[in-house]
Amino acid sequence: MISRSTIVCVLMSCAAPVWAQTSEDAPLSAIDWLSESVEQPEVLAAAPVLGTQATRTPDANEAPVADSASTPNVSVQTLGGPAPRVLGLLPPSATGLPADLWGQSDVTTLIALLQAEQIDTLPAIQDLLKTLTLAQANPPIEAATPGAFFTARIDKLLEFGALEPAQAMLESAGADTPELLRRWFDVSLLTGTEDGVCRALRDQPDIAPTPSARIFCLARSGDWSAAALTLNTGLALGDIDAPTGALLARFLDPDLYEGEPELDAPTRVTPLTFRMFEAIGSSLTTVGLPRAFAHADLRANVGWKGQLEAAERLARAGAISDNALIGLYTARVAAASGGVWERAKAVSRVRAALVDGNGDDMLFVLNNLWDETQAVGVTVPLARHFAPDLMTSTLADRRSDAVMFKLLLLSDHYEDAALIDAFAQTDPFLAAVARGDPSQAHAGRGQYPLVRDAFAADPDATLVEMAANGRTGEAILRSIATLQQGIDGDQVAFKEGFATLRALGLEDVARRTALQYLLLE
């Protein structure tokens, strides 16, 4: 029988680990931190691949390249094959979006548009983008690369750091291709649920795991002998490089290397290397790593400060639930001061004031909450959490407070709050925006005139027609891109993108965007 320690006989001759990036040997992906967990079929090497980001947003009127002037209406499907699956977590009844959201659009264009959308933007736009990625809808026609758009949707969720919905999407789809299995493997590593994907890798005869992934899964299942044999064989055949071999050796038997210098951190951190460094007692910091890695800092073995900072980072992208964020803020009593501790204290004080029902205390702690959370971008999830209790308290009926009104405007109760006279009087223009018609309100400060004009602006007629012709999802993505240009400073683009979202039936999204733009930007 091969013991776990036999791996040393091969590793004794290995060169000292020198981590280097080998991205030129890896397939390109919209997510460049994926582990090399499955072998790539050679046929894929000749297929066109997308870069890490779209270099431009395709023009809505750009003509397709063709060999003739004819434009036949042709759809392609494998003869005798099944109809494309409708994949997603949110049905049309939940999203309000049509079932043919993508059907008539070119898949390459959709992928480029989705990749180009910004993540660090207003929460209302973040929510719309996530809704689009999670929506159950007929897939676009993908004759050349079946499943490419579904993969792009998963990648967008990973870019957000939204691991739970990404994992649910992958598991519902079956993850039966190399690219989907790679993503499922890494999501499972970051969420600590890798046993299921390890079984899938073992049971998929057409998909071969790489030696590193095979060794990790063998070790997870307790088959240390097979893991050691696989490592020795991989090193002997050159399938595993020396730095990776050194890490795998310590992963399989960390006691064997007790007292030796720690391995250098890799230049390119993947979920697999991250987990193995953690397993050998050399945990890597998540600072500077993609947002998805922050989930690792939510676990109980991480200090409270680290948990709070990770939760805030994820909350800024809507990648953690409001309740989870509140739960971490209030898990303990903050004994220190400054930074995240002040935010934890502010949240706890609001909860206590809601229980006590003291109006003066409530107004004070709400103002404190607003001041402490604005700079770190977590005001909206906190507003959403506290709004139901604030709306049902007697304070909302008898006291006018500008900050309390602003918090309610950032919640799902924005329109109800705008109907309360005491609140509306603190800022009539914001109240008018929340009600959907600021045309008669005085726009006397900051960007108020821009938002007023945006409500009266004409939508992009091309995009409205595009949606009418079965390309609703594409029209929405283009409208988001235009509106984002406006948020970044182009006033013409702001008015056009805003008006187009409204014309496409996204009135709630438009109002939330306007309120957040005025209150948060």
Residue 454 confidence (pLDDT) above 50: yes
- Other beta carbons within 10 angstroms of residue 24's beta carbon come to 5
DSSP letter (8 states) at residue 176: -
Nearest to 156 by CA among 287, 31, 307: 31
Phi, psi (deg, nearest 5) at residue 135 = -70, 135
pLDDT at 26: 35
Alpha carbons 184 and 217: distance in angstroms, whole number: 14
Residue 65 confidence (pLDDT) above 60: no
- Other beta carbons within 10 angstroms of residue 84's beta carbon come to 17
Give the model's confidence band at 1: pLDDT under 50 very low, under 70 low, under 90 confident, else very high.
very low
Contact indicator for 27, 40 with CB cutoff of 8 Å? yes
DSSP letter (8 states) at residue 458: P
Tens of pLDDT, residue by residue over 356-415, are 877 778 889 999 999 999 999 999 999 999 999 999 886 655 566 899 999 999 999 999
pLDDT at 360: 77
pLDDT at 59: 62
Each domain of the chain, given as residue ranges in start order, spans 322-426
Give the model's confidence band at 57: pLDDT under 50 very low, under 70 low, under 90 confident, else very high.
low
Contact indicator for 438, 420 with CB cutoff of 8 Å? no
Alpha carbons 404 and 397: distance in angstroms, whole number: 12
DSSP H or E segment with residue 349: helix 340-356
What secondary structure does DSSP assign to 10-64, as a single string? Answer: HHTTSPPP-----GGGSPP-SSTT----BPPPGGGGGS----SS-SSPPPTTPPP
The Cβ-side half-sphere exposure at 208, using a 13 Å CA radius, reads: 6
Mean pLDDT on 296-311 = 95
Alpha carbons 464 and 474: distance in angstroms, whole number: 11
The mean pLDDT of the chain is: 87
- What is the radius of gyration, based on Cα positions, of the chain? 26
Alpha carbons 401 and 395: distance in angstroms, whole number: 10
Residue 517 confidence (pLDDT) above 50: yes
Residue 318 confidence (pLDDT) above 90: yes
Mean pLDDT on 417-434 = 96
pLDDT at 398: 56
Percentage of the chain lying above the pLDDT 90 cut: 74
Mean pLDDT on 21-28 = 34
The mean-pLDDT minimum among 9-23, 219-233, 506-520 falls in 9-23
The mean-pLDDT minimum among 56-60, 174-178, 429-433, 515-519 falls in 56-60
Alpha carbon distances (Å) from 253 to 18, 245, 321: 20, 12, 38
Residue 6 confidence (pLDDT) above 80: no
Q: Which long-range contacts (CB under 8 A, 24 or more apart) does 322-331 make?
A: 322/381, 322/382, 322/384, 322/385, 323/385, 324/298, 325/378, 325/381, 325/382, 325/385, 326/382, 326/385, 328/298, 328/304, 331/304, 331/307
b vs e for 355-372, b when ≥16 Cβ sit within 10 Å of the residue's Cβ? Answer: eeeeeeebbebbbbbbeb
Contact indicator for 457, 491 with CB cutoff of 8 Å? no
Alpha carbons 310 and 315: distance in angstroms, whole number: 8
b vs e for 171-205, b when ≥16 Cβ sit within 10 Å of the residue's Cβ? Answer: bebebebbbbbbbbbbbbbbbeebeebbebbeebe
Alpha carbons 483 and 125: distance in angstroms, whole number: 9
DSSP letter (8 states) at residue 199: H
Tens of pLDDT, residue by residue over 461-494, are 999 999 999 999 999 999 999 999 999 999 999 9
Alpha carbons 341 and 305: distance in angstroms, whole number: 8
Mean pLDDT on 337-348 = 97
Residue 300 confidence (pLDDT) above 80: yes
pTM exceeds cut of 0.95: no
Nearest to 513 by CA among 159, 121, 133: 121
Tens of pLDDT, residue by residue over 128-147, are 999 999 999 999 987 667 79
Residue 46 vs residue 336, higher pLDDT: 336
In 290-396, the DSSP E strands lie at none
Residues 6+ apart with CB under 8 A from 90: 131, 134, 135, 136
